[in-house]
């Protein structure tokens, strides 16, 4: 799939299905920093985080999946909410750890293919005794009973995971953005319209951002990178 760079206005393009095209995309998504927090999501034009089947798969694209892999390879850990694991199923990333955030500590019925306790953890509040499947480690964050994004990030940093990408779902991603701990939003916008059952970022306040990169592919999908301008100091 041919992808063209719209911002910066280089007009350059590449085929994301080739090695050269993937290298071209990698250069655009690479972060030099040793510590950052990204949110990576996909949305319809009407702002839905899922398609008619209730998952993000039906609004994704081959290029979106390529970008997903690139962003994961740049990160230490992928952070996701337990409800998203239940709804979508999760294959453990090949190159990053996976941290599942759960206030209840319950992962019954959750599919985590390829789990390894050194790379797959559930993050729970203090005082919660989680029931986890084999191959999943446990990380305790905060004093309980709730988990703030800052507490989750602090617990992950203790394991040396400081290059973080949050993949949602919408509720968790919205909490991260609202808490002011996110450096960058990576948003794929699919050329789809329809009802919005789950808004991609359920926010109550505006979050100032600056577009730092924009790509578009031949199927009409756009790939935005936005710097979050009013980023709070992490605690």
- Token pair listed for 152: 């989750």
Query: What is the reported pLDDT for 134?
Result: 75
Domains and CATH numbers, the chain: 1-12+33-61+162-235 (3.40.430.10), 77-161 (no CATH)
* Residues 62 and 16: beta-carbon distance below 8 Å: yes
Nearest to residue 104, comparing CAs of 79, 132, 133, 77? 132
Dump pLDDT digits (tens) for 15-41: 999 999 999 999 999 999 999 999 999
Rounded to a whole number of angstroms, the CA Rg of the chain reads 17
Q: For residue range 77-88, what is the model confidence (pLDDT) as tens digits?
A: 999 998 888 777
Question: What is the full DSSP assignment across 85-153?
Answer: HHHH-EEPPSSSEEEEE-SS-B-TT--EET--TTTEEEEEETT---B--TT-EEEEESSSSS--HHHHH
pLDDT given at position 90: 75
Residues 47 and 197 sit within 8 Å (Cβ to Cβ) = no
Predicted local confidence at residue 197, as pLDDT: 83
pLDDT-flagged residues of the chain (< 70): 108-115, 231-235
Residue 113 has a pLDDT of 59
Distance CA 16, CA 24 (A): 8
Query: What pLDDT is attached to residue 20?
Result: 97
Nearest-10 Cα torsion for 115, 119, 121, 123: -150
């Amino acid at each position: 799939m041919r992808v063209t760079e719209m911002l910066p206005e280089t007009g350059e393009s590449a085929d994301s299905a080739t090695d050269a095209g993937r290298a071209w995309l990698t250069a655009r998504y690479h972060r030099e920093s040793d510590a950052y927090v990204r949110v990576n999501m996909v949305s319809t034009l009407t702002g839905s985080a899922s398609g008619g089947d209730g998952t993000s798969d039906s609004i994704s694209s081959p290029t979106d999946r390529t970008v997903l892999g690139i962003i994961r390879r740049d990160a230490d850990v992928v952070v996701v909410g337990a409800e998203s694991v239940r709804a979508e199923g999760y294959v453990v990333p090949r190159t990053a750890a996976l941290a599942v955030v759960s206030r209840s500590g319950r992962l019954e019925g959750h599919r985590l293919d390829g789990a390894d306790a050194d790379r797959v953890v559930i993050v729970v509040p203090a005082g919660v005794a989680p029931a986890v499947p084999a191959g999943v480690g446990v990380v305790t964050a905060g004093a309980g009973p709730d988990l703030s994004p800052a507490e989750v990030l602090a617990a992950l940093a203790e394991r040396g995971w400081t290059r973080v990408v949050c993949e949602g779902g919408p509720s968790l991603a919205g909490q991260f953005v609202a808490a002011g701990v996110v450096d960058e939003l990576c948003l794929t916008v699919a050329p789809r319209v329809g009802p919005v059952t789950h808004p991609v970022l359920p926010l109550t306040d505006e979050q100032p951002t600056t577009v730092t990169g924009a790509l578009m592919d031949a199927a009409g999908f756009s790939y935005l990178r936005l710097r979050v301008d009013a980023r709070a100091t992490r605690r």
